[in-house]
Amino acid sequence: MNATKTAMLIAAMTALFMGVGFLLGGGRGMGIAFVMAAAMNLFSYWNADKMVLRMHGAREVDARTAPEYYRIVEELTARAGLPIPRVYLMENDQPNAFATGRNPENAAVAATTGLLRRLSREEIAGVMAHELAHVQNRDTLIMTVTATLAGAISMLGNFAFFLGGNRENNNPLGFIGVLVAMLVAPFAAMIVQMAISRTREYSADRRGAEISGNPMALASALAKIANAAGRSVNMPAERNPATAHMFIINPLNGQRMDGLFSTHPDTQNRIDALVAIAGEMGQGRFSAPSPTPAAVRQGPWSGNAKPRKGPWG
């Protein structure tokens, strides 16, 4: 099913790319856009994961360079019945993580140094289980390819600004066509991103809770990440906003509402769903942690004590 959805998405993005090309250069522009889109689709399938990891300055680590982090991923992949993915670390104070790759055999997971510093081991395991759920559900191909193509469409819309003053660019709609390309193309690309990511996060939360066996650890992690993300700036994500939908929590500063312009479901809604899952798993009755500073200071197991530090200090 995901393969069909991926094909449909690529076709829709290609059509959008061609439409922008027509607005900018008529039939010739549309033909050029089609060739570019075909080349980009092929390149994205094989290389989009490497591009996204490079955008965020991720470096590969292993059992020697990041033993605790790598061991967590190794244990979770064994529980999920998955091949061990490549494991990456991003030097970034904002706690966050994402998964990428065209299939489970060629997958990668990446976490920020902020995530490893701020979360407990159980919470880190919950986050990485969520990312492995994306791998197992084969979400990563469609998410990664979309990030690449959406970024390219946004760039094409921005190029329209520079073409606006050229009277000989064969633009059939003149300045109006350029204006449409500048405004509609990035917006349409953003709509596609929202369409593919919101329901997938709930599904990955559920499967991640099953893999880790601790839905409340993931709930607590989401509260902490959401609070920190709203107070810190992730510069690589700000420079590459088309990749925002790949992260477990929206990395773009100030994006908090569960509305049209959010790439993720509301964090509290996700936490409430995880509390319900904990009940289904027979883990007793829980109160949902809230993505507020209070939730960051106090975890769901610690009573009035501070949450214990993760294995990285």
Are the C-beta atoms of 304 and 237 separated by less than 8 Å? no
- In sequence order, what are the beta bridge partners of 247? 98
Q: What angle do CA 9, 177, 182 make, to 5 degrees?
A: 60
> Nearest-CA neighbor of 72 among 35, 120, 36?
120
Residue 289 in tokens: 């942690």
Active site residue 60: no
Are the C-beta atoms of 219 and 212 separated by less than 8 Å? no
| Count of all residues that appear for the chain in the document | 313
Distance, C-alpha 2 to centroid of its chain: 17
> Nearest-CA neighbor of 113 among 64, 50, 56?
56
Are the C-beta atoms of 221 and 287 separated by less than 8 Å? no
DSSP 249: S
Q: How far apart are CA 120 and CA 305, in angstroms?
A: 14
Beta carbons within 8 Å of 47's beta carbon, 6+ residues apart: none
Q: Which of 123, 131, 168, 201 is catalytic?
A: 131
Strand ranges, E, within the chain? 58-61, 86-90, 97-101, 107-112
Q: How far apart are CA 249 and CA 229, in angstroms?
A: 8
Beta carbons within 8 Å of 213's beta carbon, 6+ residues apart: 79, 281
Q: Which residues are catalytic?
A: 131
